[in-house]
């Protein structure tokens, strides 16, 4: 193991590590901008430059491997001066209007400038203003704030395999823009928003809808209800300053009440409903010789990807709407009738870990009676955090409270929807029992859990061995879709989530999500599940009541109308 010195301090570090990793392991902070854990080393911003004793130039800590005897200075006058100049150069081509910026106080560039003590920029501002890109229903791009770090290009191209964003042009005219066209909405964007979650500044952000929600909340005529996705309860805490993986379900419910929502409901309820509908759909396809393998359909990022890039596989997609949309359409029909509320005056808000859900809610098919949208406004976890802060709520001090009836009783199967493999596991917990007609001995399907890109399992169903698979991130999705297209997929049922790790790693989740934080949120998700009394969707008594009172049976006529949808080739 190499012996090195950092700022005079002798250290023994792992062979093959970079200076940045070595410094991190020893609690020595080196600032970075383009570096992002788990992504490629780009070494573009040069902010992590350090001095190596005996060398003339500086080296970037993110890319430089250590060697025995290396002496590194991370904060010599030469280094600090260089960092300052580099940061001022970036700021001189940036719309640095921090107080009117959604990233104010949560911005890596601002923090860097602050740490370096920049109080004046020696360079002339050379920004040439470019128009904002706002036509995309999920994501807004502000090119005037882009610092060309390349993180978004990396996630879009390498993690998702989509390659909508790229570097165009050269020199100081180089821009990070959607390839070939000008606007994100003209491109094969899947709305997953992973770009927005890694952007260090406010250049790519979710399309903020908090104002629309405030307006509805302040409207006396409106009955405003909110649903919260499974993944939000294990991440909102982080957004409010707690450790990754903190479970904050009950404080979250209280926070939503304090914001003024008339009812606070749980999307977990319609996740349970999804399992009943989707589970029966799978069984019907198997029995009737329908199109197999069947793909899950709860992820709108994946649906867009399939509609754009695999139109030949649309019959393989489950026709089930996502839990978010099932909730919305039940709210505007069943719930409105039950509570005697005019559906026109009912405003349905959802809080999602997801930017693609904003797009999903805006789709033409996602409307009751062809007009009234199932879901009116979609917020991300981050936007909810923002609203809680705006209200001056002390999140930590909130008294816990529970979801409202009727959409508040849920199962552990629904709770795990947020983790990659969760929908598959939830489905298997129900389908196995329905088919095998005996109680499942083992509810945990460990094979489909975790961060591995593609996971597989075999299950016994009515005497047959059935193979299933789970993929997360769209580059992994492509691998499974390609197999199906070629006709050599060995699976009967495939779960796909567009975001790495599933929704717990969604594009609308708190900033600084890494594989390590994903794992914490996944662990928390399974903790939630293990503590639930009911852990299978078909055992949720309210679901049973709903079928008895209103829907009649899974895949029945009313289900069909309210809970199922169709797909079409796009672009």
Site for ligand SF4 contains 535 (CB under 6 A):
no
Q: Is the CB of 28 or the CB of 414 nearer to ligand SF4?
A: 414
Residue 256 touches which of other proteins, ligand SF4, none (Cβ within 5-8 Å per kind): none
Q: Residue of minimal CB distance from ligand SF4?
A: 506
Q: Please, are residues 193 and 508 in contact by the beta-carbon 8 Å criterion?
A: yes
Alpha-carbon distance 191 to 183, whole Å?
Answer: 13
Select from 6-14, 52-60, 205-213, 547-555 the region that touches other proteins (CB under 8 A).
52-60
Q: What is the 3-state secondary structure (H, E, C) of 3-65?
A: EEEECCEEEECCCCCEHHHHHHHCCCCCCCCCCCCCCCCCCCCCCCEEEECCCCCEEECCCCE
Q: Among residues 281, 307, 383, 520, which one is catalytic?
A: 281
Site for ligand SF4 contains 94 (CB under 6 A):
yes
Phi-psi region of 226 (alpha: psi -120 to 50; beta: other; left: phi over 0): beta
Taking the complex as a whole, the smallest distance from the CB of residue 104 to other proteins amounts, in Å, to: 23
* Residue 15 annotated among the catalytic residues of the structure: no
DSSP 8-state secondary structure symbol assigned to residue 564: B
Select from 9-17, 147-155, 287-295, 375-383 the region that touches ligand SF4 (CB under 6 A).
147-155
* Residue 239 annotated among the catalytic residues of the structure: no
Alpha-carbon distance 106 to 89, whole Å?
Answer: 21
Select from 48-56, 255-263, 298-306, 539-547 the region that touches ligand SF4 (CB under 6 A).
298-306
Q: Taking CB under 6 A as the criterion, which residues in 391-430 touch ligand SF4? A: none
84, containing H or E segment: helix 77-91
Give the number of other Cβ atoms within 10 Å of residue 316's Cβ.
21
Number of residues that bind ligand SF4 (CB under 6 A): 41
Please pick, from the candidates 9, 12, 29, 78, the single residue that binds other proteins as defined by CB under 8 A.
Answer: 78
Phi-psi region of 156 (alpha: psi -120 to 50; beta: other; left: phi over 0): alpha
Please pick, from the candidates 57, 117, 370, 487, the single residue that binds other proteins as defined by CB under 8 A.
Answer: 57
Q: How far apart are the first and last CA of the chain?
A: 54
Please pick, from the candidates 4, 47, 96, 326, the single residue that binds ligand SF4 as defined by CB under 6 A.
Answer: 96
Q: What is the per-residue binding string for ligand SF4 in 328-367, x denoting contact by CB under 6 A?
A: -------------------------xx-xx----------
Q: Taking CB under 8 A as the criterion, which residues in 510-569 touch other proteins? A: none
Longest dimension (CA), the chain: 80
Q: Taking CB under 6 A as the criterion, which residues in 177-206 touch ligand SF4? A: 192, 198-204
Give the CA distances from residue 569 to residues 305, 306, 312, in Å, rounded to whole numbers and listed in that order: 10, 8, 9
Q: Is the CB of 319 or the CB of 473 nearer to ligand SF4?
A: 473
Phi-psi region of 38 (alpha: psi -120 to 50; beta: other; left: phi over 0): left
Residue 354 touches which of ligand SF4, other proteins, none (Cβ within 5-8 Å per kind): ligand SF4
Q: How far is CA 233 from the centre of its chain?
A: 13
Taking the complex as a whole, the smallest distance from the CB of residue 295 to ligand SF4 amounts, in Å, to: 13
Contacts of 555 (CB under 8 A, 6+ apart): 277, 280, 281, 284
Taking the complex as a whole, the smallest distance from the CB of residue 19 to other proteins amounts, in Å, to: 13
- Tokens encoding 17: 């590590």
Q: Please, are residues 194 and 156 in contact by the beta-carbon 8 Å criterion?
A: yes
**Cα atoms in the 13 Å half-sphere on the side-chain side of 337:** 6
352, containing H or E segment: strand 346-352
Site for other proteins contains 128 (CB under 8 A):
no
Select from 21-29, 56-64, 145-153, 434-442 the region that touches ligand SF4 (CB under 6 A).
145-153
Residue 564 touches which of ligand SF4, other proteins, none (Cβ within 5-8 Å per kind): none
Site for other proteins contains 45 (CB under 8 A):
yes
Site for ligand SF4 contains 317 (CB under 6 A):
no
Site for ligand SF4 contains 303 (CB under 6 A):
no
Q: Among residues 48, 195, 354, 503, which one is catalytic?
A: 503
Q: Among residues 360, 383, 425, 495, which one is catalytic?
A: 360
Q: Is the CB of 157 or the CB of 538 nearer to other proteins?
A: 157
Q: What is the DSSP string of 276-293?
A: HHHHHHHHHHHHHT-SSS
484, containing H or E segment: helix 474-486
Burial (CB count <10 Å: 0-12, 13-18, 19+), residue 180:
exposed
Q: Is the CB of 57 or the CB of 439 nearer to other proteins?
A: 57
Q: How far is CA 551 from the centre of its chain?
A: 31
Q: Are strands 493-497 and 294-295 parallel, antiparallel or unpaired?
A: parallel
Please pick, from the candidates 119, 120, 124, 340, the single residue that binds other proteins as defined by CB under 8 A.
Answer: 124
Residue 247 touches which of other proteins, ligand SF4, none (Cβ within 5-8 Å per kind): none
Give the number of other Cβ atoms within 10 Å of residue 552's Cβ.
13
Q: Is the CB of 170 or the CB of 566 nearer to other proteins?
A: 170
Adjacent-strand bridge partners of 50: 59
* Residue 278 annotated among the catalytic residues of the structure: yes
Taking the complex as a whole, the smallest distance from the CB of residue 476 to other proteins amounts, in Å, to: 22
* Residue 45 annotated among the catalytic residues of the structure: no
* Residue 503 annotated among the catalytic residues of the structure: yes
Q: What is the DSSP string of 125-140?
A: P-------B--SSSEE
Site for other proteins contains 53 (CB under 8 A):
no
For tokens 């580099």, what's the residue?
Answer: 86
466, containing H or E segment: strand 464-472
Q: How far is CA 465 from the centre of its chain?
A: 33
Q: Taking CB under 8 A as the criterion, which residues in 138-157 touch other proteins? A: 148
Site for other proteins contains 321 (CB under 8 A):
no
**Cα atoms in the 13 Å half-sphere on the side-chain side of 175:** 19
Q: Taking CB under 6 A as the criterion, which residues in 444-483 touch ligand SF4? A: none
Give the number of other Cβ atoms within 10 Å of residue 473's Cβ.
26
* Residue 357 annotated among the catalytic residues of the structure: yes
Q: Taking CB under 8 A as the criterion, which residues in 13-42 touch other proteins? A: 41-42
Q: Which residues are catalytic?
A: 278, 281, 298, 318, 357, 360, 365, 503
Interface residues toward other proteins, by CB under 8 A: 41-47, 49, 56-58, 60, 63, 65, 78, 81-82, 85-86, 89-90, 92-93, 122-124, 126, 148, 167, 169-174
Interface residues toward ligand SF4, by CB under 6 A: 94, 96-98, 101, 103-104, 107, 109-110, 145-152, 176, 192, 198-204, 299-301, 353-354, 356-357, 497-499, 502-503, 506-507
């Amino acid at each position: 193991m190499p012996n090195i010195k950092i700022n005079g301090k002798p250290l023994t570090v792992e062979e093959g590590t970079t200076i940045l990793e070595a410094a991190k392991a020893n609690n020595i902070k080196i600032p970075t901008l383009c570096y992002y854990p788990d992504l490629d080393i780009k070494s573009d911003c040069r902010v992590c430059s350090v001095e190596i004793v005996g060398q003339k130039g500086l080296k970037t800590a993110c890319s430089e491997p250590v060697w025995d005897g290396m002496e590194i200075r991370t904060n010599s006058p030469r280094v600090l001066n260089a960092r300052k100049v580099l940061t001022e150069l970036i700021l001189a081509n940036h719309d640095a209007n921090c107080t009117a910026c959604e990233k104010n106080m949560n911005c890596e560039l601002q923090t860097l400038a602050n740490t370096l003590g920049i109080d004046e920029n020696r360079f002339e501002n050379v920004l040439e203003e470019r128009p904002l890109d706002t036509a995309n229903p999920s994501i807004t791009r502000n090119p005037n704030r882009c610092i060309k770090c390349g993180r978004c290009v990396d996630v879009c191209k390498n993690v998702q395999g989509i390659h909508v964003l790229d570097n165009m042009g050269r020199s100081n005219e180089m821009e990070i823009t959607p390839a070939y066209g000008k606007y994100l909405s003209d491109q094969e964007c899947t709305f997953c928003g992973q770009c927005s979650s890694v952007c260090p500044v406010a250049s790519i952000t979710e399309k903020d809808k908090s104002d629309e929600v405030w307006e509805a909340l302040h409207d006396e005529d409106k009955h405003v209800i909110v649903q919260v996705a499974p993944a939000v309860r294990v991440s909102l805490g982080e957004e409010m300053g707690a450790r990754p993986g903190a479970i904050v379900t009950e404080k979250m419910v209280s926070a939503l009440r304090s914001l003024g929502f008339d009812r606070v409901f749980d999307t977990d309820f319609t996740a349970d409903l999804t399992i009943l509908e989707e589970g029966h759909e799978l069984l019907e396809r198997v029995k009737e010789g329908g199109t197999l393998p069947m793909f899950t359909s709860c992820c709108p990022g994946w649906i867009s990807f399939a509609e754009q890039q695999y139109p030949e596989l649309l019959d393989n997609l489950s026709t089930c709407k996502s839990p978010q949309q099932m909730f919305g359409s039940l709210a505007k029909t069943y719930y409105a009738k039950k509570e005697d509320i005019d559906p026109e005056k009912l405003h349905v808000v959802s809080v999602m870990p997801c930017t693609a859900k904003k797009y999903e809610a805006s789709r033409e098919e996602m409307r009751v009676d062809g007009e009234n949208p199932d879901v009116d406004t979609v917020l991300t976890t981050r936007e909810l955090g923002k609203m809680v802060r705006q209200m001056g709520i002390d999140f930590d001090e909130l008294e816990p409270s529970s979801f409202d009836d009727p959409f508040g009783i849920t199962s552990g199967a629904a709770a795990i929807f947020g983790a990659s493999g969760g929908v598959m596991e939830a489905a298997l917990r129900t389908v196995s029992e329905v088919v095998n007609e005996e109680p499942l001995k083992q509810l945990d399907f460990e094979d489909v859990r975790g961060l591995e890109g593609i996971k597989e399992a075999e299950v016994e169903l009515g005497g047959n061995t059935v193979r299933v698979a789970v993929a997360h991130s769209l580059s992994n999705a492509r691998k499974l879709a390609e197999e199906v297209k070629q006709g050599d997929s060995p699976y009967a049922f495939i779960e796909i989530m567009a975001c790495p790790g599933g929704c717990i790693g969604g594009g609308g989740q708190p900033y600084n999500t890494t594989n390590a934080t994903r794992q914490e949120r996944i662990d928390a998700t399974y903790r939630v599940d293990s503590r639930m009394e009911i852990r299978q969707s078909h055992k949720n008594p309210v679901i049973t009541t709903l079928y008895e009172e209103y829907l009649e049976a899974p895949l029945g006529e009313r289900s069909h109308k309210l809970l199922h949808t169709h797909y079409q080739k796009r672009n």
